[in-house]
Amino acid sequence: MAIQPISRSEAERASFFENLVGNTIDTREQSERRRAKRYPLKVVAMATPLDEQFRPVGAPFPVLTRDISSQGIGLVHSRPLDMKYVDLDLTGPQGRRLKRTVEVLRCNRFLCGNTEAEQLAADDACTYFESGGEIVSRPGEEDDLYGS
């Protein structure tokens, strides 16, 4: 099944994400290589793992968002994302709800601790994962930016 990036105009999507994050927008200048402006967004969301046919393959689990743009999202979580897609369900600080499918592009493991020795001594309870993905539309899905 082929997936497509969401097709809303960039201005419409940027406006929605600015409203989603509200006053949490960091106005400091950032070095940016991405196609779309990122906004800090620190909220708990629920992620449901999906297979390549977009069928659920596990129970929903909590993730913490790091940042969001009109095209992608950064997440922090306690387990690896070894699936290609997840459905995310989150509510921004302004009460706006967003339900979208995300294609997982990367997932990196991090250990707690400031020094290499502390990291080597860390156990699984002190491990977290950081991932990033592209917000996509499923085949046949309307481009409803606000989710259903």
Instruction: Indicate the pTM of the whole model.
Output: 0.69
Q: Are 136 and 3 in contact (CB under 8 A)?
A: yes
Residue 18, exposed/middle/buried by CB under 10 A (0-12, 13-18, 19+)? middle
**3-state helix/strand/coil string of the chain:** CCCEECCCCHHHHHHHHHHHHHHHCCCCCCCCCCCCCCEECCCEEEEEEECCCCCECCCCEEEEEEEECCCEEEEEECCCCCCCEEEEEEECCCCCEEEEEEEEEEEEEEECCCCHHHHHHCCHHHEEEEEEEEEEECCCCCCCCCCC
Q: Give me the chain's average pLDDT, please.
A: 75
Range name among 62-66, 124-128, 136-140 with the lowest pLDDT average:
124-128
pLDDT digits (tens, 9 = 90+) for 12-58: 545 544 554 444 434 444 455 667 888 888 899 999 999 999 999 99
Predicted local confidence at residue 3, as pLDDT: 46
Residue 142 has pLDDT above 70, yes or no: no
Predicted local confidence at residue 116, as pLDDT: 64
Structural domains of the chain in order of their starting residue, each with its CATH number? 4-25+34-137 (2.40.10.220)
